[in-house]
Chains A and B, each alone.
Chain A
């Protein structure tokens, strides 16, 4: 009796389940992602906007935890149960998936023409022949400053390095504020907010970055050592005990109004807007002398690709074309200020700080972080070593020249540029 009842129940539920699918009669697309934080944005804004325009296609956003994402995705792809759309990490992790045949080639996808080569670089094969993810968002480096503090001390926003250090001197002499909120404890602050922030102005953005990959330039060249020399000069302007100051410490020092300048990434905007009680402004990394071309780090961070084994490839491509459209860019960039669309079409954003950051794209040339493409594939890992050496340079453990030499030696030990 009991078994019969159970069987009936199971049968009934499976029939009902099928009925549910049948009544929808739509194509349903699953999106794999590690951005659980964005769940609300997808559910409330992005998916309704897409579905309104494309009746018959349903989109389900199914994120997993960031730390589990890569492993879980790998297992699902191997088992054939992965979603139709796959959120792409930048560079090697996604490249590996493409090489294994898990990600489809999207070079000819309509909408791809909306992106520059720099924007696509994170999801393009080494020879540049195929692109496999649609770029979604990037983060821009620069400096966020406390507007109230600048007004009180009568400072104007620095454009050249001389003005920058003059401003720092003035803040230090006044003594009310810590000139710059940055610590070396977590290492990556020094590398990412320091070296990769000010560096592109020295190595001329993409020119230097690509020359480094080709082997035409070395990390011991003047253009690559000078940013370290500037970092070394930052030391006296950092707070007391900066050696043990962590990343959250730096954030808090700035948002509590105790520091005047914060070497930043644009991802801070969302948090700073909710925490800081004062007006904030931003300026790009200062250039050598007035009138020099400025370069900024506009680092590609998230993309979205197509599962090569997806059964709904056509519907998925429709969705990806929409992701490549200015409409998606506008919704996404406004929902997450600080994560900028990589779309070439200008995106209108409400947040003034985000607007400031993105306005630099018009006057400055964008580049990505120098260590991310190709150069961090071996051991020792150039990105990780750059963290350690940037902190060493600021702490005074290594001189800029020694740091550069160590990095180049590590790189030479495994990297042979294609001739």
Chain B
């Protein structure tokens, strides 16, 4: 007790934390609770009235809303699956190639692959819209050069392909992030471990599978959760490439675009902030459940190695 009271109160901790805490509270925490609160109210004759969970009942009970919601959720899951199946393995593979000591021009490749990540969504959306355009795009010509012209279709305009095409565009843009994170994880593996493996005769592919991959699993876990959160918050790419109605026939509608239309309205549709907040709350819950699942079920089982 005496020792504790002797210690002066460490003000500087509070002082140093304050800016981040204040800013984060003001622009993240408060709006979050504001949104949750908004979802429990409804505007009745221009007055905000508490209605409990009525908005959620509308969202799930009214076929006009629930159809759109489930459609958006389904599309969002597909969007996420494509990222997990394509983006992350490619990211791991690129990182493995980059960390190979025999590869030349590593810095160039690293930069080139990472550049799309720092581009604005608007640029990416419009550039790809142009590349894939059946009228002026380079894609049809390039495919013609290799004799595959017959395989070209206006992907972004076809209901069955549009979402997959957009997911792949997004993968193209963000593949740099898993690459960089895993590249860093690979570089942090100490030489001794690799040398020990080599002494035991484990080289090449089996070295990657047996030694390196287990050591970078925590990084892959982090990437998965970042992808999950990013995908379920996605909006910009769909909006710039397909517009707020996420055509054709709502086939590219994800939760973000659905939220946008409900909250802000579109064309003649008047925005409904309460229903918008209801959708935002659902997005928050989905992400929360996903992150909890990862934190409590996956991350605890990942073995970490201290060197």
A interface with B by C-beta (< 8 Å): 91-92, 183-188, 239-246, 249, 253, 371-372, 376-377, 379-384, 387-388, 391-392, 395, 397-398, 410, 413
Contact = CB atoms under 8 A, between A and B. Distances in A.
B135 A184 contact: no
A387 B249 CA distance: 9
Contacts of A387: 245, 267
B248 to A, nearest CB: 6
Given A245-B154, A395-B248, A383 B243 contact: no
Contacts of A413: 62-64
Interface stretch (B205-213, B227-235, B268-276, B292-300): B268-276
Of the listed residues A239, A376, A379, A397, the one surrounded by the most CB atoms of chain B closer than 10 A to its CB is: A379
B268 A372 contact: yes
Interface string B151-192: 001111111000000000000000000000000000000000
Contacts of A388: 245, 247, 249-250
B141 to A, nearest CB: 13
B248 A391 contact: yes
A127 B158 CA distance: 44
Contacts of A398: 249
B24 interface: no
A379 B64 contact: yes
B132 interface: yes
Given A186-B243, A245-B134, 13 more contacts: A91-B268, A184-B248, A241-B134, A241-B153, A244-B158, A246-B129, A376-B268, A381-B269, A383-B269, A388-B245, A392-B248, A392-B249, A398-B249
B133 A383 contact: no
B136 interface: yes
Nearest to B157: A243
B33 interface: no
A371 B268 contact: yes
A384 B157 contact: no
A398 B156 CA distance: 18
A379 B269 contact: yes
Nearest to B46: A100
B248 A397 contact: yes
Give the secondary structure class of B's interface: loop
A244 B154 contact: yes
A182 to B, nearest CB: 12
Interface in B126-140: 129, 132-136, 140
Contacts of A377: 270
A185 B270 contact: no
B266 interface: yes
- Return the 6 tightest CB-CB contacts between A and B, nearest first: A241-B134, A243-B157, A244-B154, A244-B157, A241-B154, A381-B269
A242 B261 CA distance: 25
Contacts of A383: 267-269
Contacts of A91: 268
Nearest to A371: B268
Contact of B157 (A92, A242, A371, A410): A242
B255 to A, nearest CB: 17
Given A241-B157, A244-B134, A244-B155, A379 B272 contact: yes
B270 A92 contact: yes
A301 to B, nearest CB: 13
B133 A397 contact: no
A185 B157 contact: yes
B56 to A, nearest CB: 16
Contacts of B249: 388, 391-392, 395, 397-398
B47 to A, nearest CB: 14
A87 to B, nearest CB: 18
B247 A185 contact: yes
B158 A243 contact: yes
Given A185-B156, A245-B134, A92 B243 contact: no
B86 to A, nearest CB: 22
B269 A245 contact: no
Nearest to A181: B135
Nearest to A93: B270
Contacts of B62: 413
9 contacts: A91-B268, A241-B154, A245-B133, A245-B154, A381-B268, A387-B267, A388-B245, A392-B248, A395-B249
B253 to A, nearest CB: 10
Nearest to A250: B135
A244 B62 CA distance: 32
Contacts of A376: 268-269
A376 B270 CA distance: 9
Contacts of A239: 134-135
Interface string B231-244: 00000000000110
B245 to A, nearest CB: 6
Contacts of A384: 245, 261, 266-269
Contact of A244 (B133, B243, B267, B272): B133
B157 A245 contact: yes
A236 to B, nearest CB: 15
A376 to B, nearest CB: 4
Contacts of A245: 133-135, 154, 157
Interface string B60-74: 001111000000000
Nearest to B58: A379
Interface centre among A244, A377, A379, A410 (most CB of B within 10 A): A244
Interface string B35-70: 000000000000000000000000000111100000
A360 to B, nearest CB: 25
A397 B162 CA distance: 14
A12 to B, nearest CB: 41
Question: Considering residues B63, B65, B267, which has the most beta carbons from chain A within 10 angstroms of its beta carbon?
Answer: B267
A185 B242 CA distance: 7
Contacts of B261: 384
Given A243-B154, A244-B154, A384-B269, A249 B245 contact: no
Contacts of B154: 185, 241-245
Contacts of A188: 267
